């Protein structure tokens, strides 16, 4: 089953889990690209973050390989949707002469993901991967809800 390049036993190639995540991300991205004008971007972004992290929580408890693969597709879709709404809000609310600068700052913010990944890896190494996934999923939902409450302007985008 290597026709789509999703199953390889080597470390330097995609695994089935990477492939399912990517399929979910691509499908979600293509879905949102079909809409010429996205409405309720702020609420949709918050919902996407919650779906993304809730799927991580569900993944952490899954005992079924096949169910886990489908959950990863949902995780990829949630992540990609979050990115679509985040970039739409940033670019849609920036003046054209500042869009390059805004995207540069957004690129710098991506580096925080590396710190989160290292922390998740350390947590998984100390306790277990399910514990790390549970922490990541829970923190993502808690922070999204806090952001929704503390930044009401975001909900109105």
What pLDDT shows up at residue 4? Answer: 34
| DSSP state for residue 98 in the 8-state scheme | G
Give dist(CA 68, CA 83) in Å, integer.
23
Q: How many CA atoms lie within 13 A of 112 on its CB side?
A: 5
Residue with the larger pLDDT of the pair 10 and 136: 136
What pLDDT shows up at residue 124? Answer: 87
pLDDT, one tens digit per residue, over 31-62 is: 999 998 888 999 999 999 999 999 999 999 99
What pLDDT shows up at residue 1? Answer: 37
Average pLDDT score, the chain: 86
pLDDT at 6 over 50: no
Percent of the chain scoring above 70 in pLDDT: 90
Nearest residue to 88 (alpha-carbon basis) of 78, 74, 102, 101: 102
What pLDDT shows up at residue 65? Answer: 86
What pLDDT shows up at residue 2? Answer: 35
Rounded to whole angstroms, what are the CA distances from 140 to 11, 91, 129, 134? 28, 23, 16, 10
What pLDDT shows up at residue 7? Answer: 42
Q: What does the pLDDT average to over 107-115? A: 82
Return the C-alpha torsion angle 35, 20, 67, 126, nearest 10.
-120
What pLDDT shows up at residue 70? Answer: 93
Q: What does the pLDDT average to over 118-125? A: 89
What pLDDT shows up at residue 8? Answer: 44
What pLDDT shows up at residue 142? Answer: 97
């Amino acid at each position: 089953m290597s026709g789509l390049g999703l199953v390889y036993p080597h470390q330097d190639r995609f695994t089935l889990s990477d492939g399912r995540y990517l399929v979910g991300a691509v499908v979600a991205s293509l879905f949102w690209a079909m809409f010429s004008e996205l409405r309720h971007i702020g609420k949709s972004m918050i919902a996407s973050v919650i779906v993304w992290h809730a799927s991580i929580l569900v993944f952490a408890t899954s005992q079924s390989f096949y169910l886990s693969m489908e959950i990863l597709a949902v995780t990829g879709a949630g992540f990609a949707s979050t990115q679509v709404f985040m970039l739409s809000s940033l670019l849609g609310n920036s003046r054209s002469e500042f869009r390059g600068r805004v995207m540069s700052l957004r690129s710098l913010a991506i580096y925080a993901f590396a710190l989160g990944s290292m922390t998740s890896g350390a947590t998984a190494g100390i306790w277990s991967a399910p514990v790390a996934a549970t922490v990541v999923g829970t923190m993502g939902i808690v922070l999204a809800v806090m952001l929704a409450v503390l930044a009401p302007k975001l909900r109105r985008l």
